[in-house]
Structures are given as structure tokens and as C-alpha cells.
Structure 1
Amino acid sequence: MAEKQETILITGASGFLATHVVDYFLRGGYHVRGTVRSAAVAEKVKETFPQYAAQLDLAIIGDVAQPGAFDAVVKDVDGVIHTAAPFQVFGVKDNERDLLKPAIEGTLNILNAVHALAPKVKRVVLTSSFAAMADHSKGRWPGHVYSEQDWNPTPYEAAAAKDAHAAIAYSTAKSLAERAAWDFVKQNNPTFTISTIMPPMIYGPNINATADLAKLNTSSMDIYRLMSPQSKSSDPVPENMFWSFVDVRDVAQAHLSAYQTAEAANQRFFICKGNFTYQQFVNVLRASFPEIRDRVPVGNPDADRIPDDVYTVDTSKSQKVLGLSYRSLEETVCDAARSLLKLEAGKA
């Protein structure tokens, strides 16, 4: 619990992950000032946390990349959790405009605002990504062990190119935004420290009132496509494009722990349970939810092991410094499915 009711600014407070981050800080006794993009979304966020009405305020910021976007909301806060950043790889028309600039400029905007206007802040926690670590040119990178030592090497120019795939631009945006944060600290020597949180694919339950089956976040849709009324048991099981995962609640706990733990200052943290296959996902869904088994692909239930030529991960730092104990794949998938079925029932 918070020693006193500190006020924590949490940007992008309506997001899939950010809603859990807000939840963990509220339950920890903090007052949360969240940012959202519209008044309508603010009302939905309030609906998510009716029991914490006295601890939660919402501010509207339409564009986090606009200079001075955070100037008003950082005043009088004790800490900052910056989760707001574009997460899209579909429908992107301009990599630089839609992905690179918003991620980098949004990060620098929050740091500049804190540096200039929020003297009480001692810790800023930034949501980065495994994308900031991954070297896509290596593919599955047999034998490699990913850790906090890794950086995505793709340069800005390559990601901004008109023929660059949006997925590469997204990954590079995360990497360059994080690098910009570390450069800011080095160049400005601020009175606050930063910690960066780097999760891979984030699965788990939706708890936000903004959740909508028609507009699910990317990772929730990744599971729902395996169990939606439009799928069937004879469908093929998707092939993995990404191999590592983590539960959304563990990522939220990582943000809280990084804020509270002195040893986390100026550190990167790879937040990851381990590797997975979609065959493992459908096996869990079919075993745990017999009522929807006819719409969950069967695939080859015995072929669920992770290939030997896929990289592995080292998350010992997050366990040692942040005290994390990761949820199992089964718990993550089942709780995600339950929340999706609840949403489905509500829309029926």
C-alpha cells in the first residue's frame, strides 16, 4: 500500500494494459490521474472503477505528440506511468506519421513536462516492448536468449521508408522511443529516474468498460479468433509470428513494482512468462470450455511443443528485482476466454 495517497499520472488510461495498471495502483492506495482521448472514453473508464471514484480523476489529451500535451496534467503529481503509445500494424498509411513520430515525440513530451513542471516526481515508468529488443533480421534466432541486453537495431530511416512493413515500423518506434528516453536522462540529468517495462504479446482478461468485441485490442482479438462464433473446430491452427507471451496482470504488477522498488531505478525489465504455440492455446480452450469446443480449432493436439529452433528468454532480472511470479499459460488463456465470453453474452 502507498505510505500516503500519492497522485500517480497514468497516460492512455483506457487501454487494455493501462486499465490493469490503473487497477493495480488504485488497489495499492494511490490516487490516479488518468489521461484519455475523449470525454466519452473518460466516462467508460469511470464505469470500470465505480468503487474507486474518490481516487480516480481523468484528463483529456487528444494528441500526446503535440508539444506541451502533458504540461497541465503533470503538475502536482508524485509519479508517472506512461503507457500511451500507438499500437497498430493494420491500416497504417504513413509509418513516420502514424507510428514513429507519435511514439518518440509522445515519450519526449512526457519527460520534458515532468522535468520542467513536476518537481515532486522521483520515478517515471515507461511502457516499452519486446519489440524494442527484438532483432527481426534474425528470425527465430536459434540458440539466442533474449534479455534486457538486447536492442532492436533497425534505424529510423529504414522504418520510415514507404515500402517498410508497418510491423517493422511499430517495432522500431518502440525501440527509438525507449532510446530517446534513455538519451533524455543522460543529457538532462533530471531529478527523477526512469524504468522501462518490455513485455511481448500481452494476453489475459479484459476488465475495461471500453472493451468491445467489434474493436478488440490486438492481443485479445488474437485469442478471440480461436473461439469466436465465426470459427470452427475444422479450422487450421494459426502459425506463430511471435513466440513469447505474458499475462496482462503480471505486466501491471511490473509497473507498480518498478515504481515502488528503489533498485528498479534506471533499469530495463523484460516482462515475460516464456514461449507459446497457438496449438497450446487451442488445447487449453478445448479442455476448459467444452461448451464452445465446436468452434475452437482442433489442429494436432500432440504437436504443441515449441520448436527447438526458436529463441528462448531470460526473465530472471524481473523476478529478482521486481519480485514477479508469472501466471501460467493456462490461467492466462482461460481468464482471457472468460472475459471474452462475458463480452459476447453482453452483446447478444
Structure 2
Amino acid sequence: MVSTVLVTGGSGFAAAHVIRAFLNKGYNVKATVRSETRGKEVLASHPEHSAKLSYVIVPDIAEKGAFNDALKGVDGVIHVASPMQLGTTDFETQLFRPAVDGTINLLEAIQNSDANVSRVVITSSISSILDPLQGQRPGYVYTEKDFSPVTKEAAIESGNAILAYLTSKSVSEKAAFDYVEKNKPKFTISALCPPFIYGPLIHHVGSPKELNTSSNDIYRLFNGSEREVPPTAFFSYVDVRDQPAANLSSQQVAEAHVQAFEKPAAANQRYLIAASAYSYQQICDIIRAKFPELRETTPKGETGAPIPPSYIVDTTKANTDLGVKYRSLEDTIVDAVNSLRKIEKA
């Protein structure tokens, strides 16, 4: 019998690729969305899999009982839904409540349901691993053993929206592992911790104003809004897709979710998934070289400048357990720019 997985936040950038990766592996997929309109957009994004894809409306993942109906007939859960908002003002309502309560509500609902869920894969973030108080920390090697030390209370008190967002990811991931340790549920969990996720868009986007944060991070570098190359936010990236057309061995975020769901070794483990170090200067260099028509709207900066000294990410665990390999920055950026330009023209 074909397994069915529930993918939360199904109308989002990364979730669209995760959905496609599972569909391509033969799974049935049920996606949670916040409205009927979003649900129809999800179906339209995967027309070749219409018989295996459905959606269920969950208006607020932080509400008790939000997932009760969604879990019917489900064998696994991929929890992608979580706010990525870097300019919030109400940290509790906009960040911590949906991130933490949404995750715990889901785990409790699974435990109390009749669903035969064996594994829950949680899309966490590298921000749950990095220590933001240490800055770029040149030479320090981060692994899955690292956990951000910043508390929810400290983040809220700081008044810093970016710190609050980063902390919401680490606090929600910790809450998930604490829940498993305390309650010994019938399922296991696996957390994936990627940095900024780049690549082409396959979900519905009506205009550039609707871009997700990481896609807009690239778009702003060639749309004329940046006159200078900005300081790099994170010194690691990862491609969103499941596999490249020419090299089936290169599997990243979407395929990593499939492997984390299927692999016994991933039970109650966390994985740092990140490609090589990079800088915004390198992205601008690639755009200017591959898209000459965008040179006037893409800042030049110092062409070829080396990446500033920063931390190192060790992805050995994900490479070994999940078989993750990585695309080149050039492939990721070229495909992302082509995708973004189609949206811009449309």
C-alpha cells in the first residue's frame, strides 16, 4: 500500500519542492494550507501528480486541535510550516507562538490520533545551531552538537527582530526534542537545519511583492534596489531542489526530507544541511557574468573578492546518514534568477 505523508505549510517555497520530491518517489501527499485559494494553487503547481495530491485547510497551526482532521489516513508528517519573518514587531504572536505552539500542537495531535505515523521530519534552521552572540566566529566549526544559547526571554527583551526570528527556530526545535524525550511518543522525529534556501520557485507567486524571504534575498541583488553589495547575512546556503537534471547524485533540501523520513538512522536526530561558504559578492559576480543585461541593476562591488573569515559548517553527518550532496552556487543562482525573472515579466 502506498504511504501518505502530510506536508505542513504546503503553499510555501521550500514545501513545494518537498511535496514534489515525495510525489516523485510515489508517495501520496496531503498538504496543509490556510485557505481554499492556496489549496487550489498547490494543486496547480503539481498538475502531473493530481491523483496523488490533496490539501486540507488549517487556518492557524498554533490553535489546539488544528491538525486533528489533517492527520486522518497519514503515515508520516513533514513539518515545514513556520514563519520566516525578519521584520516583525510582535515577537510572541508573529514568531514564537506559531513556531513553538504549532510544532507542539502537531506532535500532540499525532500522539493522540489513530494515525499510524512513524516519523515526523521538522524543517528547522541553521539558526538553531549558530550562536548569534558570537558573530562570524572565524574558524569555529559548527556541527549538530551545537545549539543556540539564546533564550526566548532574552530575544524578546532585546527588541531585535532578526534575533527573535533566529531564536524562534531554536526554541521550537528544542521544544520538539524535549517533547519526545518526556513523552516517548509512538513516532520518532528528525530535524533538518538548513541556512538560507535558494533556487527556482515552483509554487504560485502572483508578483515579486509576494516572494518568500530567501528568494527576495536574491531578487533584491539584481532588481536595482541595492546600489552596493550588502554584507552577507549567513555564510552558507543550500539549494531547495530534490535533484538536478544532469546529476542525480546531488540531493539537497527537498530530497533530504525524503531521506530523513525513510532512513532508520535518522530517528530522533538533527542534521546540518549546508553547501559551501559563499558571499553576496559572489552572487553578484555570478549574476553580472551570466546575465550581462542585468549589470546596470546589479551592484559590482569588488569582483572576485574572497569570502571574509567566518565560521565553518561540518555537514558530515547529513552526508553520511542521508547521502546529501550539493549543487554549485553558480547553478543555484542562475536557475533562481531565471525563475525570478519569469515572475517579474509575468
Question: TM-score normalised to the size of structure 1?
Answer: 0.94
Counterpart-to-counterpart distance in 2, 1:253 and 1:211:
26
Counterpart-to-counterpart distance in 2, 1:75 and 1:45:
20
Q: Structure 2 residue aligned with 1:74, among 71, 74, 79? A: 71
Q: 1:112 and 2:113 equivalent?
A: no
Is residue 41–residue 210 contact of structure 1 (8 Å, CA) maintained in 2?
Answer: no
Deviation per CA, 1:231-263: give whole Å up to 9, x if none: 48xx21111122111111111111111011111
Counterpart-to-counterpart distance in 1, 2:231 and 2:144:
27
Could you say which residue in structure 2 is the equivalent of 1:49?
A: 46
SS at match of 1:105: helix
Mean CA deviation greater in 269-278 or 114-123: 114-123
Shift of 1:119: 4.0
Could you say which residue in structure 1 is the equivalent of 2:17?
A: 20
TM-aligned CA distance change 1:18 to 1:79, over 3 Å: same
Q: How does 1:142-157 map to 2 (within 5 A)?
A: 142-157=138-153
- The number of aligned residues is 336
Counterpart-to-counterpart distance in 2, 1:118 and 1:299:
57
Is residue 71–residue 115 contact of structure 2 (8 Å, CA) maintained in 1?
Answer: no
Percent identity of equivalent pairs = 46
Could you say which residue in structure 1 is the equivalent of 2:246?
A: none
Could you say which residue in structure 1 is the equivalent of 2:249?
A: none
Counterpart-to-counterpart distance in 2, 1:57 and 1:166:
35
Q: Structure 2 residue aligned with 1:175, among 158, 170, 178? A: 170
Q: How does 1:249-260 map to 2 (within 5 A)?
A: 249=241, 250-260=252-262
Shift of 1:343: 0.9
Is residue 96–residue 168 contact of structure 2 (8 Å, CA) maintained in 1?
Answer: yes
Could you say which residue in structure 1 is the equivalent of 2:270?
A: 268
Deviation per CA, 1:55-89: give whole Å up to 9, x if none: 11111111000001001111220000001111101
Counterpart-to-counterpart distance in 2, 1:23 and 1:70:
22
TM-aligned CA distance change 1:118 to 1:124, over 3 Å: farther
Deviation per CA, 1:120-139: give whole Å up to 9, x if none: 11111001101111111100
Deviation per CA, 1:87-111: give whole Å up to 9, x if none: 1011x22111211121110000110
Q: Structure 1 residue aligned with 2:183, among 185, 188, 192? A: 188
Is residue 77–residue 118 contact of structure 1 (8 Å, CA) maintained in 2?
Answer: no
* One-letter amino acid of the counterpart of residue 58, structure 2: I
Structure 2: gaps spanning 5 or more residues: 242-251
Counterpart-to-counterpart distance in 1, 2:186 and 2:24:
27
Q: Structure 1 residue aligned with 2:233, among 237, 241, 246? A: 241
Deviation per CA, 1:163-202: give whole Å up to 9, x if none: 4211111111111111111111111111111000000111
Give me the CA root mean square deviation. Answer: 1.2
Shift of 1:6: 0.7
Could you say which residue in structure 1 is the equivalent of 2:194?
A: 199
Is residue 3–residue 74 contact of structure 2 (8 Å, CA) maintained in 1?
Answer: yes
TM-aligned CA distance change 1:185 to 1:326, over 3 Å: same
SS at match of 2:221: coil
Q: 1:332 and 2:304 equivalent?
A: no
Could you say which residue in structure 2 is the equivalent of 1:314?
A: 314
Counterpart-to-counterpart distance in 1, 2:125 and 2:210:
22
Is residue 44–residue 210 contact of structure 1 (8 Å, CA) maintained in 2?
Answer: no
Shift of 1:153: 0.5
SS at match of 2:61: coil
Is residue 119–residue 191 contact of structure 1 (8 Å, CA) maintained in 2?
Answer: no
Is residue 3–residue 28 contact of structure 2 (8 Å, CA) maintained in 1?
Answer: yes
Is residue 198–residue 333 contact of structure 2 (8 Å, CA) maintained in 1?
Answer: yes
Counterpart-to-counterpart distance in 1, 2:301 and 2:170:
35
SS at match of 2:26: coil
Counterpart-to-counterpart distance in 1, 2:229 and 2:255:
31
